[in-house]
Structure 1
Amino acid sequence: MVIRPILATLRRHKLTAGLLVLEIALTCAIVCNAVFLIGQRLQRMDMPSGVAEHELLQIELSDVMPVVNPYARAEEDLAVLRQVPGVQSVGITNQLPFGGSSSNANIRRDPAQRDPSFSAGTYFGENLPQTFGARLVAGRQLRPEEYVNADIVMKALGEGDMQALPKVALVTQAMADRLWPGQNPLGRIVYVTPQVGLRVVGVLATLVRANPYDPATAQLSMVMPLRMGVADQSYVIRTRPQDRQRVLAAALAALKQVNPQRVVSASRSFDEIRQRYFQDDRAMAGILVGVIAALLTVTALGIVGLASFWVAQRRRTIGVRRALGATRADILRYFQTENFLLATAGIVLGMVLAYGLNLYLMAHYELPSLPAAYLPAGALVLWLLGQLAVLGPALRAAGVPPVVATRSV
């Protein structure tokens, strides 16, 4: 196939060809970045939690009347929940993975460090790692005698009594690697304030933060031996997946029997918690899929329309070529080559626009840079789309008999 006649023809239709090239370029730029954004959303939604997701339940209670001793109330509730048939483990927590509301602490390796190394999610409550099902990869779990009541901690901080503060903590593997890369973290001290240092006694494989915005920092978490002394309590229950609904109903009934005046502010499975947390990501991914489908459809229709217009406009030229010995395959190849050249020009321009759009998104929305693999993948999709879209008009052009074509003028 000689390219020069095709280029000469396109030069006579600069405006039409230019508009199609621009349409393909914009589609390439938007589709590449949209697919990248979908990938980011899917990666975020697939973030590991580090807990036994299909075995966990949460019950949040609020007391209408003032509670004289919230610690005694919590111990009573825990004892009642442990007696519910099907309950394997129960604990109190200040937050849950993907729970939204988060508690965090600035982390230092050295008390004299001016700026913190990073911020870590801080879990505290009783029997948490065991109830969560978080996997311990080094060291040991927190012991009952290591737990300290929150009111004692607040009083100690006010009086400067460091001896009354918690002494130990569990950290995730990601947090240990960030603080002491390539070293054994057990026995090392991590500082949550310049005055409060906690000795690492155990390392958890993973435990995601309650509100993990960034996958790069999502696993920076720690568990402290601190008991919550508040009227509103959040209980987490571990049971078999098939028993969740029955256990949840029985646990609510047991707690209501202890104190009917309390209000249940939330009762749900962890699956529901995760689904609710990522609902915006799913919606965004769906919208982007719709945008991609619409753009590809509009681009394909534009290619079909332009090719059909050119076939109708060139019927006499096609007839002359057929009369001079051009085969149907030659006519088909001509239109496919012409479309390939237009698509290539649009793709080249689209790659430049895709890179520029990604720079804008990086500057304003803190997205990572667009991987280079997305550009050739997008180019391949648009090339295939262009060839499929032009195939129908090209087949009609190839099927025009020479005599009919030459008499059509």
Structure 2
Amino acid sequence: MSKADQIKSSYDNAKSVFSEMGIDTEVVMQQLNDISVSMHCWQGDDVSGFENPEGELTGGIQTTGNYPGKATTPEQLRADIDVAMSMIPGALRLNLHAIYLESDEYVERDQIKPEHFENWVQWAKKQKVGLDFNPSCFSHEMSADNMTLSHPKEEVREFWIRHCIASRKVSEYFGKELGTPSVMNIWVPDGYKDVPADRLAPRKRLMESLDKIIAEPISKKYHKDAVESKLFGIGTEAYTAGSNEFYMGYAASRDVMLCLDSGHFHPTEVISDKISSASLYVNEMLLHVSRPIRWDSDHVVMLDDETQAIANEIIRHDLLDRVSIGLDFFDASINRIAAWVIGTRNMKKALMRALLEPTDQLRTLENDGDFTSRLALLEESKSLPWSAVWDYYCFKQDVPVGASWLDQVKQYEEEVLLKR
């Protein structure tokens, strides 16, 4: 039996199993195909960007490792992204930071324009993917003390306000050119290393700065604003102005998207449990799916309990039209393309498993108070043959099945990455 016949035979058996539970695997594959996951460009070059590639990361951001083959030019980065995307099934987007602009001369952050990202737009049109965006409020002389939009000095705040306003114009440009709204996420590293005397004033300044940034209306047909909290960072261990409570209130009161990053909370907190609560108060959410190990260390996403729980919450509560899914990790200790493929495929796998869950049966048992059967069905559903559906889905999408993609990555590493 050929490999293709084996994949099809396993799928047919799985299809029958799920059909007995009232789940149509053909419908599930089509649903999954329509769910976009936004890959992050900064995995490919360790968050260096092209403004000043030799610049040092600041603002609580670190990348560790020196695996060979890091992209050092826009052309190399786009080529690497092409390779990664060719191994991932379904709809994809690409998330850019402002420092990934392209210009023959230095462009100050508050002077970035759509023209500096024209090559990315042309690439996106060719690849038929949408683009998302982020102002880069870190690794700059004006962010050296870990204060930007909440800085006590007006001239510093105004600089970053101008940068974020310019970034909104870039994001709007993406949406108009590509026919899909660009989600622009604002995260700032603002905070203190030690206990502050005044917790309120920085938050008032941050709120006022954000209000200035979003003052000009932009159609959500092209651009969507998002704001992202953080518990702490390197250099801001004691206090961050942009806490979860701050941004929850801000997003709800200003009708902007709330970004929940799975690495930005206490090690015992998870964002999966926050999604349903936040959905009651904010119209839309952005998720940054990452994997923290004791702190916001942005490890490659695994198909672990929390990744699965995030996917389950989105699917169980029918939030696909209100939640945008993005990834945020950067590991320089392994092949960077492999990191993209592993993390993005795992997010897609989690979504497929969630779509294949017998949610209606589980909800009925719960409402009937039959918690014994609910637990039993939840546990039994974990061993259902979802992987056979995943393999068949990859086969139909003409992307590598199983771990066969790794051979292609290794070949690309030998022929391209190791020669850089």
Q: Which bin holds the TM-score, normalised by the shorter protein?
A: under 0.3
Identify, as 1 or 2, the structure richer in strand: 1
Instruction: State the TM-score, normalizing by the size of structure 1.
Output: 0.27
Instruction: State the TM-score, normalizing by the size of structure 2.
Output: 0.27
Identify, as 1 or 2, the structure richer in helix: 1
- Comparing both chains, which one has the higher relative contact order based on Cα–Cα distances under 8 Å and sequence gaps of 6 or more? 1
